[in-house]
């Protein structure tokens, strides 16, 4: 993994969430794949993941008359570091969209061929149309100019001011607040689960929702309170002056409530909820860029803690982000310096007491910070786009290790690997697994992949297909942490899986709670009826073990038998087990 590329990848993600209206993209020669920030498929009239991210796919959508122009552009990549191209792309419904693509070569190899390119796509259809009108309609210059201005400063869907407009206005409002020693607030409003709604009910319905939300916000914001639409489902409200913070709170609550009261749109029942982040000026910042960013950070905090609410920005929020970035930076180095290792925790067959498999669990010993838990760095790796490389490393290392054990003469066991939802979504996950198997020479039946309930729900049809392909290879699939997500029997029956891992929280105090015992017994019976094996996680005592054995639980994992062990210790454990038998 190239350190520099990842830094740019992170920059891209940060950009993409800060600057809206542009589609950011990055291409790396390593993968020959273009990652887009968001909405690229939507712009072309496709659903998420409907078209691939290859450069060939991009060119496929370019209008025929502009192909030559694009190929010329591509050849100038060898000579120029920075340039732009304007051209037409074909919308899925047949119309054409004018696009302006900016391109910046970030790194090159010794021959000068690009290794990493960053860029943006921008929809300039409206502007191009008006420019053309301007060229042919000189007399009506003022009318056309007014249209151009409208298009540059107002959002065409809701008629509300756009980002540039509100930023300019906010800067003026802040200067007033500073000179009058008054205070104001910026509200960053984001609809919850809008993407879902868009994907299930269609984009034109999504547009109707946005229009309606815009109307409601406009209606609430009268007098000197301004509002704007700054991105897909993002709105901003500026309260220029308040005396008591309760005024801001009441106003925010009013927005939450009014949006919740939108119950139907076009005869479709909807259930809208919203997350709002708030920053205060001038005490938290004196520029629109900072205040919008802070309100945005606070909004994301609301999302993290369950959505449908509001939060005020605090300095700790930025510290937390800085801390995450710091960990992210160290993590990239740790991967390069091989500071990460896998430990292996045995899973014991409840009948035979022999080792059935081992779960690979990642460990990071930081030279100064000491041991960092995967519960801390895995979410960061997911957030910063490192999880795919990390996950591939885990897969390769664990497969290789398991093959080595079988070559050394240990009785064959499975190795079980945690798979992040983002890995499944990466498109070529099956290929990554196949590669790990062929590189290591491990028989697929000795590999198990652990997925979580949440992953399986999100793109249910796509995931079923991937899981089926993996099972066809001979790989086992286990549902991890069962009972902690949004489990539904319906999904459970649909999913092609081999076993259920019941979360530790069900096993804790099982001996003291008849309720827990009953739930556990029911889950095990149900799983057996569905032909699934049951694995109990986090078993710590012999009491728990005996209860689980009585319930015919198939496999046991937990400190009672062993903690996760470094590879050498695990070998010792395997040897001891053989002696004990």
Residues that bind ligand C2E (CB under 6 A): 345, 361-362, 373-375, 378, 391, 394, 418, 420, 480-481, 538-540, 557-559, 564
User: Which residue shows structure tokens 């779960």?
Assistant: 359
Q: Which of 418, 463, 476, 544 binds Ca ion (CB under 5 A)?
A: 418
Which residues are paired to 554 by β-bridges?
none
* Centroid of chain to Cα 561: 36
Q: Which does 373 bind (CB under 5 to 8 A by kind): Ca ion, ligand C2E, none?
A: ligand C2E
Which residues are paired to 502 by β-bridges?
482, 536
| Closest to Ca ion by CB, 453 or 481 | 481
Q: Which does 378 bind (CB under 5 to 8 A by kind): ligand C2E, Ca ion, none?
A: ligand C2E
Q: How far is the CB of 480 from ligand C2E (least distance, A)?
A: 5
| Closest to Ca ion by CB, 40 or 377 | 377
x/- track of binding to Ca ion for residues 91-110 (CB under 5 A): --------------------
Class of residue 307 by CB neighbours under 10 A (exposed 0-12, middle 13-18, buried 19+)? middle
Q: Which of 252, 480, 517, 564 binds Ca ion (CB under 5 A)?
A: 480
| Closest to ligand C2E by CB, 99 or 362 | 362
Q: Decide if residue 450 touches Ca ion (CB under 5 A).
A: yes
Residue whose C-alpha is closest to residue 539's, from 551, 516, 555, 519: 555
Q: How far is the CB of 538 from ligand C2E (least distance, A)?
A: 4
- Identify which range of 144-152, 275-283, 295-303, 450-458 contacts Ca ion by CB under 5 A: 450-458
Q: Which does 538 bind (CB under 5 to 8 A by kind): Ca ion, ligand C2E, none?
A: ligand C2E
Q: How far is the CB of 458 from Ca ion (least distance, A)?
A: 18
- Coil, helix or strand for 240? strand
- Coil, helix or strand for 545? helix
Which residues are paired to 102 by β-bridges?
84, 120
- Backbone CA torsion sign across 187, 192, 197, 199: positive
d(CA 204, CA 41): 14
What single string gives the DSSP state of each residue in 346-361? EEEETTT-SEEEEEEE
Q: How far is the CB of 381 from ligand C2E (least distance, A)?
A: 8
Q: How far is CA 92 from CA 52, 160, 268, 366, 437, in A?
A: 14, 28, 25, 50, 39
Q: How far is the CB of 501 from Ca ion (least distance, A)?
A: 5
> Which one-letter DSSP state was computed for residue 369?
T
| Closest to ligand C2E by CB, 41 or 569 | 569
Q: Which of 481, 495, 539, 561 binds Ca ion (CB under 5 A)?
A: 481
* Contact status, residue 565 vs residue 557, Cβ threshold 8 Å: no
- Identify which range of 70-78, 349-357, 442-450, 566-574 contacts Ca ion by CB under 5 A: 442-450
Pairing verdict, β 414-418 and 355-366 = parallel
Q: Which does 559 bind (CB under 5 to 8 A by kind): Ca ion, ligand C2E, none?
A: ligand C2E
* Contact status, residue 407 vs residue 449, Cβ threshold 8 Å: no
Q: Which does 214 bind (CB under 5 to 8 A by kind): Ca ion, ligand C2E, none?
A: none
Residues of the shown chain interacting with Ca ion in the complex, contacts defined by CB under 5 A: 418, 450, 480-481, 537
């Amino acid at each position: 993994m190239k350190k520099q590329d990842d830094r740019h990848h992170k920059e891209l993600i940060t950009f993409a969430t800060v600057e809206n209206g542009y589609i950011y993209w990055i291409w790396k020669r390593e993968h020959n794949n273009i990652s887009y920030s968001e909405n690229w498929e939507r712009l072309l009239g496709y659903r998420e993941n409907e078209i691939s991210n290859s450069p060939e796919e991009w060119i496929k959508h370019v209008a025929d008359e502009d192909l030559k122009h694009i190929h010329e552009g591509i050849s100038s990549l060898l000579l120029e570091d920075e340039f732009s191209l304007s051209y037409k792309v074909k919308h899925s419904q047949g119309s054409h969209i004018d696009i302006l693509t900016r391109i910046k070569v970030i790194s090159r190899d010794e021959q000068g061929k690009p290794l990493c390119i960053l860029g943006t796509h921008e929809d300039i259809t409206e502007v191009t149309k008006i420019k053309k009108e301007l060229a042919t309609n000189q007399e009506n210059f003022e009318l056309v100019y007014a249209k151009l201005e409208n298009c540059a400063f107002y959002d065409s869907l809701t008629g509300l001011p756009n980002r540039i407009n509100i930023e300019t206005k906010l800067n003026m409002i802040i200067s007033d607040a500073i000179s009058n020693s008054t205070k104001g607030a910026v509200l960053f409003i984001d609809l919850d689960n809008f993407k879902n709604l868009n994907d299930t009910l269609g984009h034109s319905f999504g547009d109707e929702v946005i229009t309606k939300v815009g109307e409601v916000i406009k209606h609430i914001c009268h007098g000197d309170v301004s509002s704007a639409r700054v991105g897909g489902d993002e709105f901003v409200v500026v309260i220029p002056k308040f005396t008591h913070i309760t005024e801001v709170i009441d106003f925010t609550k009013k927005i939450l409530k009014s949006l919740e009261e939108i119950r139907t749109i076009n005869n479709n029942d909807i259930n809208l909820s919203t997350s709002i982040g708030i920053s205060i000026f001038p005490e938290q910042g004196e520029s629109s860029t900072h205040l919008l960013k802070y309100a945005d950070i606070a909004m994301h905090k609301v999302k993290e803690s369950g959505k449908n609410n509001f939060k005020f920005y605090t300095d700790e929020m930025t510290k937390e982000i800085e801390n995450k970035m710091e960990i992210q930076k160290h993590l990239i180095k740790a991967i390069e310096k091989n500071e990460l290792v896998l430990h292996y925790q045995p899973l014991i067959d409840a009948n035979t007491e022999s080792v059935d498999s081992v779960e690979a669990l990642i460990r990071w010993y930081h030279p100064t910070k000491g041991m960092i838990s995967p519960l801390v760095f895995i979410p960061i790796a997911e957030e910063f786009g490192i999880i795919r490389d990390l996950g591939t490393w885990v897969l390769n290392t664990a497969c290789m290790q398991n093959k080595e054990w079988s070559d050394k003469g240990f009785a064959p066991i499975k190795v079980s690997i945690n798979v992040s939802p983002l890995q499944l979504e990466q498109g070529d996950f099956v290929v990554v697994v196949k590669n790990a198997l062929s590189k290591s020479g491990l028989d697929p039946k000795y590999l198990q992949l652990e997925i979580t309930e949440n992953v399986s729900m999100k793109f249910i049809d796509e995931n079923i297909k991937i899981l089926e392909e993996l099972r066809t290879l001979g790989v086992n699939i286990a549902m991890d942490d069962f009972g902690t997500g949004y489990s539904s029997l319906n999904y459970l029956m649909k999913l092609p899986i081999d076993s259920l891992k019941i979360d530790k929280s069900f096993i804790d105090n099982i001996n003291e709670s008849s309720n827990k015992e009953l739930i556990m017994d029911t889950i095990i019976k149900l799983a057996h009826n569905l032909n699934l094996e049951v694995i109990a996680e986090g078993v710590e005592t012999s009491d728990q073990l005996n209860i689980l054995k009585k319930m015919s639980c198939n496999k046991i994992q937990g400190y009672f038998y062993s903690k996760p062990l470094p590879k050498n210790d695990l070998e010792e454990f395997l040897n001891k087990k053989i002696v004990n038998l």
